Amino acid sequence: AQKVTQAQTEISVVEKEDVTLDCVYETRDTTYYLFWYKQPPSGELVFLIRRNSFDEQNEISGRYSWNFQKSTSSFNFTITASQVVDSAVYFCALREAAGNKLTFGGGTRVLVKP
Amino acid sequence: GAGVSQSPSNKVTEKGKDVELRCDPISGHTALYWYRQSLGQGLEFLIYFQGNSAPDKSGLPSDRFSAERTGGSVSTLTIQRTQQEDSAVYLCASSLEGANGELFFGEGSRLTVL
């Protein structure tokens, strides 16, 4: 069975600090897809990134970066130089190639204070 | 608009009543999902539709919950004899592809059962 664990329920930082969100997953499939979504206070989930299990290259997009390590089944997300607009709940998710559903972690609430 | 549209945005009902929640996916998206998000919690998978295939109903919590998708487009989630524990935000998402497609979420329907 697939499972996603986000151990940090809430992180509070001061603007311009870096923040790393942890995500650990479990799956028996060799082919799977990992995602990060952002849920701002408005409620609508926004897609941030998709990574497939064959591609362990780390990725950087502006102030966002992702570190995928199959050896530890982790897909961590770092926000560099955080801004107040980064305040949101961030969800990590997993989808097995053989299945239909996207399994979400419990989410990490990030609060960036000015 | 061009995004996933859900209605109503808010619904307050009395325990024991039936409710219907509607989702209008992005035009051309063949896959449609329903998720439930309870207060402060992660997202719980409910049901998945893909084209003309039989839906994956494995996430529906009880036989009081049902969903249909007419004409491969609009979907309705029905909850019969609502209970207080059904109170949550019901999120609909659609995507172009199957296993590795990015999901586009609506803003959700907030259900409160008194």
Is any Cβ of chain A less than 8 angstroms from the Cβ of B55?
no
Is any Cβ of chain A less than 8 angstroms from the Cβ of B42?
yes
Give me the mean pLDDT over the B60-74 stretch.
92
Residue A99's pLDDT is 74
Closest residue to A101, CB basis, from B45, B105, B106: B45
Q: Is the predicted pLDDT of residue B41 greater than 80, yes or no? A: no
The share of chain A scoring above pLDDT 90, in percent, equals: 75
Residue A93's pLDDT is 95
Confidence band, pLDDT 50/70/90 cuts, at residue A44: confident
Q: Is the predicted pLDDT of residue A112 greater than 70, yes or no? A: yes
Q: What is the SS3 string spanning B22-85?
A: EEECCCCCCEEEEEEECCCCCEEEEEEEECCCCCECCCCCCCCEEEEEHHHCCEEEEECCCCHH
Confidence band, pLDDT 50/70/90 cuts, at residue A68: very high
Residue B28's pLDDT is 87
Q: Is the predicted pLDDT of residue B99 greater than 60, yes or no? A: no
Give me the mean pLDDT over the B55-75 stretch.
92
Inter-chain CB pairs, A–B, below 8 Å:
56
Residues of chain B with Cβ-Cβ distance to A47 below 8 Å are 102-104
- Given an 8 Å threshold on Cβ–Cβ distance, is B99 in contact with A35? no
Residue of B83, B90, B80, B81 lying closest to B111 (CA atoms): B90
Give me the mean pLDDT over the B101-107 stretch.
87
